[in-house]
């Protein structure tokens, strides 16, 4: 039986973080400009261990070089960065997701709509 596998993970160094935790330490650079990326989870799914992990298409990178969205530079920046997202961005989402799912689980607190009252006291 393969039951020991996930227990083994958990006993290692699974860290529980907030659902909206932003990751800035994933060792993957921006495929366009080589700058740092931050990653945010947009969708979670239940992991084998009953905790929450990043779902297959729920992990989105942002390049730290992104200018303010209201600025004039933003459109150029966006055209360059997202000219061919399936070629540039899709291939890095999977290794980034795996990197996180190997190390982290998420505390959804009520975000997923489970019946959970506000914490009291
Ligand atoms: Zn970039």
Q: List, as ranges, residues with CB under 5 A of the ion ligand 1.
A: 30, 32-33, 35, 63, 65
Does residue 84 form part of some domain?
Answer: yes
> Higher-confidence residue: 7 or 79?
79
Domain of 65 in residue numbering reads as: 19-106
Does residue 1 form part of some domain?
Answer: no
Q: Residue 49's pLDDT is what?
A: 86
How far is ligand 1, taken at its centre, from the CA of residue 101, in Å? 24
* CA pair distance 49, 4, nearest whole angstrom: 11
Does residue 54 form part of some domain?
Answer: yes
Q: Residue 56's pLDDT is what?
A: 92
The side-by-side arrangement of strands in the sheet containing 52-54 is: 15-18, 104-107, 52-54, 44-46
Does residue 7 form part of some domain?
Answer: no
Total of domains in the chain: 1
Confidence of residue 38 (pLDDT cuts 50, 70, 90): very high
pLDDT at 10 over 90: no
Does residue 31 form part of some domain?
Answer: yes
pTM: 0.77
How far is ligand 1, taken at its centre, from the CA of residue 44, in Å? 25
Does residue 2 form part of some domain?
Answer: no
How far is ligand 1, taken at its centre, from the CA of residue 109, in Å? 32
Q: Are 29 and 119 in contact (CB under 8 A)?
A: no
Does residue 5 form part of some domain?
Answer: no
Q: Residue 45's pLDDT is what?
A: 96
* CA pair distance 67, 50, nearest whole angstrom: 39
Q: Parallel, antiparallel, or unpaired: how do β-strands 37-41 and 59-63 relate?
A: antiparallel
What 3-state class would DSSP assign to 36? coil
How far is ligand 1, taken at its centre, from the CA of residue 34, in Å? 6
Does residue 117 form part of some domain?
Answer: no
How far is ligand 1, taken at its centre, from the CA of residue 85, in Å? 12
């Amino acid at each position: 039986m393969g039951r020991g596998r996930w227990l083994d993970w958990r006993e290692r160094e699974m860290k529980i973080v907030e659902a909206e935790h932003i990751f800035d330490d994933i060792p993957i650079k921006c495929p366009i400009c080589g700058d740092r990326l931050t990653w945010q989870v947009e969708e979670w799914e239940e992991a084998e261990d009953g905790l929450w992990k990043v779902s297959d298409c729920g992990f989105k990178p942002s390049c730290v070089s992104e200018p303010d969205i209201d600025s004039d530079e933003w459109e150029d920046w966006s055209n360059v960065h997202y000219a061919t997202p399936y070629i540039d961005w899709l291939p890095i989402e999977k290794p980034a997701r795996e990197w996180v799912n190997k190390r982290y689980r998420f505390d959804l607190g009520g975000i997923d709509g489970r019946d959970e009252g506000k914490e009291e006291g």
